[in-house]
A and B are shown apart, each in its own frame.
Chain A
Amino acid sequence: QVQLQASGPGLVKPSETLSLTCTVSGGSLGLHSWSWIRQSPGKALEWIGSLYNGGSTNFHPSLTSRGTISVDTSKTQMSLTLTSVTAADTAIYYCAREYCSGNSCWNSYLEYWGQGILVTVSS
């Protein structure tokens, strides 16, 4: 069974860098596409960005200049880095894996999700 565990600091100061790690068990990082989603209090879910199984990434246009997604397959970890954070980045952050059925996968639907980590941006 695939399991994802997001970890990182729960509190980040404005203008600093947010770094989150998603540890994956029960599945191969290199074979699938992975994404980060966030949910601000009282707001809808927002798709931050994706890391595709070919190694390329795609970011929400509003976050392209500040965000990086990387993978360390030896540690079975995926990471999200967001620089110059503001209060608007306060949210629950989820890592998630694409949906697969049989031999087909859809990198734009999300099947396995981590439990979510609340990150608050505040001084």
Chain B
Amino acid sequence: VLTQSPATLSLSPGESATLSCRASQRVTNYLAWYKQTPGQAPRLLIYDASKRATGIPARFSGSGSGTDFTLTISGLEPEDFAVYFCQQRYYWPFTFGPGTKVDIK
């Protein structure tokens, strides 16, 4: 089971966001982060905990291993206000967290 905190994060453009994902069992570094905007499919941002997917800006960074993971967005752009999900691939079925909504303060 993946839990994410906080459920909602209210920030202003230009500020940095720190999102947390915690796994109930160790998943080594087999964790990804996705971003979803309303009406759109999720987009892969980070895989294997810390590797940026192709085309993802450097302001997105991931860290963590084992059970605790963090997604950091350094300097929020208007398009970054969205819902962020973590996903583990260590155990089948692969699972997603409930999401953190980053909205404009």
Contacts and interface: CB of A to CB of B under 8 A. Distances in A.
Q: Do A and B bind each other?
A: yes
Given A47-B94, A99-B47, A113-B42, A108 B89 contact: yes
Interface in A88-109: 94, 96, 99, 101, 106, 108-109
Contacts of A45: 42, 85, 87, 96
A82 interface: no
A113 B40 CA distance: 9
Contact of B89 (A43, A44, A94, A109): A109
Interface residues of B, number: 23
Contacts of B64: none
A60 B91 CA distance: 11
Contacts of A60: 93
A61 interface: yes
Contacts, number: 53
A58 interface: yes
B97 A110 contact: no
Contact of A108 (B43, B53, B94, B98): B94
Contact of B47 (A61, A94, A109, A116): A109
Contact of A110 (B42, B92, B95): B42
Interface in B23-59: 30, 32, 34, 40-44, 47-48, 53-54
Contact of B54 (A43, A94, A101): A101
Nearest to B90: A108
B4 to A, nearest CB: 9
The 5 closest A-B pairs by CB, nearest first: A113-B41, A108-B89, A45-B96, A60-B93, A47-B94
Interface of A: 43-47, 58, 60-61, 94, 96, 99, 101, 106, 108-111, 113-116
9 contacts: A44-B85, A44-B97, A46-B96, A47-B95, A58-B92, A99-B53, A108-B30, A109-B47, A115-B41
